Every structure is written in C-alpha cells, then in structure tokens.
Amino acid sequence: MKIFNSDNSRWDDRVNFVDKNNVLVGYEISTQCCEEPGWFISDKEEIEKLENQEFDLSDYFFDINFFKEIEDLEWLEEGSMVIFKLVSEKSKPLYLHLYNIQNGFYDCGFIFSNNNDIIKQSSI
C-alpha cells in the first residue's frame, strides 16, 4: 500500500491510497470555511474518536467488497465518515477511515476504484 499526499504530490488538496492490485481510494481534502476533512488507519472498524496510530502497510491491500458509511457519530457534528477494509495474508485487518467534521453545508469527494472500474464515488 502506498499513500500519496500533499507532502509529495503536485495535488496539494488530495490524498490517494493505492494497493498492489491497483485499487485506489482517493480523497479530496481541500477545506472550505467550516469543515475539517481528514483520515486515519485503525485496527478497529468501529471507533469512538479520532485515532492516530501508525502501521506498516506494505503487505496490505483493499478488500473491494467492503465499504461502510457512518453519519451518526457525535464528534463528526453534521459530517460523516466512510470506512474501507485493508487485509493482509500475514496480519489482522486494518481500517482506513475518511472523515469530514463539518456543519452539514460542505463536503469532500472520494473515489474507490479497482483499476479503472469505479466501486463507489461520492462525498462526505
């Protein structure tokens, strides 16, 4: 799994996650007035707050059959979150969480694709 973000990309308002099978999750993280988009990876699918954990992702790839959207977490305010499952043959699953904390007026787009086939495209 490779992560391309504003630190090493000419697109300073996006973060892209690409696995060894060329499955992509891309997330637009540009902000407008009252929103705070972000992402993190956790060893838990269900979370109660933002988590900042670091993992070695070299053996992980996306489970293309898993996608979950959450809208009722208190700390998201009127925002929402989407979750993607990362699997490995050597380790337990991890979960990529994309979130946008906001007042309900703004949103940030994301795409989940397998090579050129779009699995899910929406905004949070």
Task: Read off the pLDDT of residues 64-112 as tens digits, 9 standing for 90 and up.
Answer: 999 999 987 777 777 789 999 999 999 999 999 999 887 766 788 999 9
For the chain, how many structural domains are there in total?
1
Question: 47 lies in which domain range?
Answer: 2-123
pTM for this predicted structure: 0.88
Cα 48 to Cα 66: distance, rounded to the nearest angstrom: 20
Cα 46 to Cα 109: distance, rounded to the nearest angstrom: 22
pLDDT band, residue 37 (cuts 50/70/90): confident
The first and second tokens of residue 95, run together, are 């979960």
Nearest of 93, 91, 85 to residue 62 by alpha carbon: 85
Q: What is residue 7's predicted lDDT score, i.e. its pLDDT?
A: 58
